[in-house]
Amino acid sequence: MKIISVIGTRPQYIKHASLAMEVLKHLHVNLITIDTGQHYDTNMSKIFVEKFGIKDIKYNLGIGSGTHGEQTGKMLIEIEKILFIEKPNFVIVYGDTNSTLSGALAAVKLKIPVIHIEAGMRNHNIDVPEEVNRTLVDRMSSLRFAPSSEAIKNLSKEGLNTNTFLVGDVTTDLIKEIGNESVKPGEEKFYFATIHRPFNTDSKNRILQILNALNNLEYKVILAMHPRTKNVADNWNIVLDEFMNIQIIEPIDFFDSINHIITSEGVITDSGSLQKEAYILKKKCTTILKYTPWQETLMGSWNFLLFDDLSNLNEVMNREINFDQYIPNCYGDGKVAEKIMDCILHNA
């Protein structure tokens, strides 16, 4: 059996690493990976790939940044060329990025079955590009692997019950493994933050509002600066050194990110992946979004949505958490990749 996996962003490298390690147990399965290069920053791609020893990346497209249409179009052209050559039995795509949509489109046009890992996630806002991507990909997929019961409900409402499976989130496999290792706590209390969404960075007033809110928090904030956020700050001549309570660091790999979550007093982010990782690791998270597809994280105030008015961010970060409302193994038991592969082999 030949399977092609399409990746290109930090969460996809992580999900793919879990699955790739599981595939190694099946000698009759040939896994070939296409890296679109959607995340072209070294700390977000190459370092992660090297640390995990991912050896199945055969094609590096190096597409990089661009408008949504430009990025998707370039990926679609190049992925189709590869599929013509390789003729795989399945194409696996992850999540909701332009890489996801391009891989699925290229495959379905060539009548190659598509497997969607992290199917069924919705924020019910079609203005969000990721919502368009994941909705279309679920429609095109032959096998859909959902990370949560909420995702299953979404797919059911859309009439996508057939060949849909609740398995958990494949990232959980790695998080549980890393989280069980001993981590030395930092000497100084801090919050860990990441901000990168366009609606939080495309306006000078908005990014200043976020930076000021972070700067006024009780504890120091370690902000892993996304390349997009750094670029817009530079373009608007925002002097980051003026925010004395914020320590700016370069984008970090998955291992360092997990370590920062574990040793922090809480997380502030607009990343879907990071809020889920915080929940799995039982860390308080405030999400700078109006909606999250990870609805389970909101129970017991483990995750809190804050968007329009950030003036009470400090109060929100000091909120009480209800430990009784935490859902153990909500997103998987550490064997998600194994369940996915068993299902793929059963349906081959």
Q: Which residues are catalytic?
A: 196
**CA–CA separation, 344 and 324 (whole Å):** 36
Distance between CA atoms of residues 55 and 230, nearest Å: 31
How many angstroms separate the Cα of 111 from the Cα of each of 100, 107, 142, 148?
A: 17, 6, 10, 28
Phi, psi of 305 (to 5 degrees): -90, 125
Long-range contacts of 20-29 (CB under 8 A, 24+ apart): 20/52, 20/54, 20/56, 21/337, 22/337, 22/338, 22/340, 22/341, 23/56, 23/341, 25/341, 26/341, 26/345, 28/1, 29/1, 29/2, 29/3, 29/341, 29/345
CB 273 within 8 A of CB 253: no
Helix 272-280 / helix 171-179 crossing angle, nearest 10 deg: 50
- Supply 178's token pair: 């890393």
Q: Which amino acid is at 146?
A: A
For 141, the token pair is 């997929």
- 317 within 8 A of 284, measured Cβ to Cβ: yes
Q: Please tell me the distance from the alpha carbon of residue 84 to that of residue 79, in angstroms, as a whole number.
A: 9
Give 270's DSSP letter. Answer: S
Q: What's the token pair of residue 337?
A: 């990749």
